[in-house]
Amino acid sequence: MSLGLAHRKELQKRRSQRFWTFFKFIIILSILIGSSYFAFDTGQKIALRNMAYNSEKFDQQTADLENLRIELGNTEAALNKMQKLLPSEAIQNLLLTINQKVSDGISPQRMNSLIAGMSKDAKCTEAALAKRIVIHTPVSQAKNGSISFYRGLITITAKGSPTVNEDGNPEAWFDPLKPVTASFTLPGGETQEASGPLPLYHTVVVQDKEYRFTIISERRSFADITVQSCDL
């Protein structure tokens, strides 16, 4: 009887050990599963937050890039507009001429009226027959070398440098290779000058007419002047 009782107790003890071993396994497995799930859930939440942050950052960068493109487009448009408003080289030269004329005493209102009256296709006459003019020099003997056009409307005189003979002495006639200065006297006493080597060109505006003069070298002491009249 004692052997049977001992055998049963041993069986019960083994069953109890197997039960606790299995229970511990279940507990450990539950802990592992719970830890894994918690780690997975936490990792998933972190990944989702990172994804949302990166998506928001990408959207913000995309919006910033679009704003930069818009600003760049506006800047380019403003730059193109400014470039169109800037005067060309020809206009700058015209402004320099206008400023010089203002410094010479010509009123801006008069120049504005003259420019406003100009047309694209000017009607011009044929060049008039040449008139001969004496080119005065410091040693010339001529007393009156002026000529006039259009019944005294414009009077012209000219002076130059004398030629030098073989002995180095100045002669009475002008040197056609050196600059000549022509003076144009307009109605009211206004005088304009043009200087340079021949041929010399100069334009005079009187009221609604533009007169284009050309001075070319002729024989000793003389030069020929032609003029063309154009409607403004």
Domain boundaries of the chain, sorted by first residue: 1-86, 122-231
Rounded to 5°, the CA angle 93-215-228 comes to 75
Does the pLDDT value for residue 26 go beyond 90?
A: no
Looking at per-residue pLDDT, the higher value among 138 and 4 belongs to 138
Whole-number pLDDT of residue 114:
59
Cβ pair 103, 205 in contact under 8 A: no
In what helix (H) or strand (E) does residue 134 lie, and over which residues does it extend? strand 131-136
Can you tell me the mean pLDDT for 219-228? 83
* Dihedral angle sign, alpha carbons of residues 151, 156, 157, 163: negative
Name every residue whose Cβ is closer than 8 Å to that of residue 114 and which is 6 or more positions away in sequence.
205, 232
Name every residue whose Cβ is closer than 8 Å to that of residue 22 and which is 6 or more positions away in sequence.
none
Give the best-scoring range by mean pLDDT among 88-97, 122-131, 173-182. 173-182
Kindly report, residue by residue over 169-183, the tens digit of the pLDDT. Answer: 888 788 888 889 999
Task: Please report which confidence band the pLDDT of residue 95 belongs to, taking 50, 70 and 90 as the band edges.
Answer: confident
Whole-number pLDDT of residue 171:
80
**Global pTM?**
0.50
CA distances from 10 to 7, 18, 111 (A): 5, 12, 132
Whole-number pLDDT of residue 30:
81
* Dihedral angle sign, alpha carbons of residues 44, 50, 53, 57: negative
Percent of the chain with pLDDT over 70: 86
Residue type, 213: F
Cβ pair 147, 131 in contact under 8 A: yes
Q: What is the mean pLDDT of the chain?
A: 80
Looking at per-residue pLDDT, the higher value among 12 and 71 belongs to 71
Can you tell me the mean pLDDT for 190-196? 89
Structure tokens at 184: 């144009």
For residues 213 and 198, give the distance between their C-alpha atoms in angstroms, rounded to a whole number: 12
Helices (H), the chain: 2-85, 89-103, 108-116
Can you tell me the mean pLDDT for 99-109? 76
Give the best-scoring range by mean pLDDT among 77-81, 82-86, 181-185, 202-206. 181-185
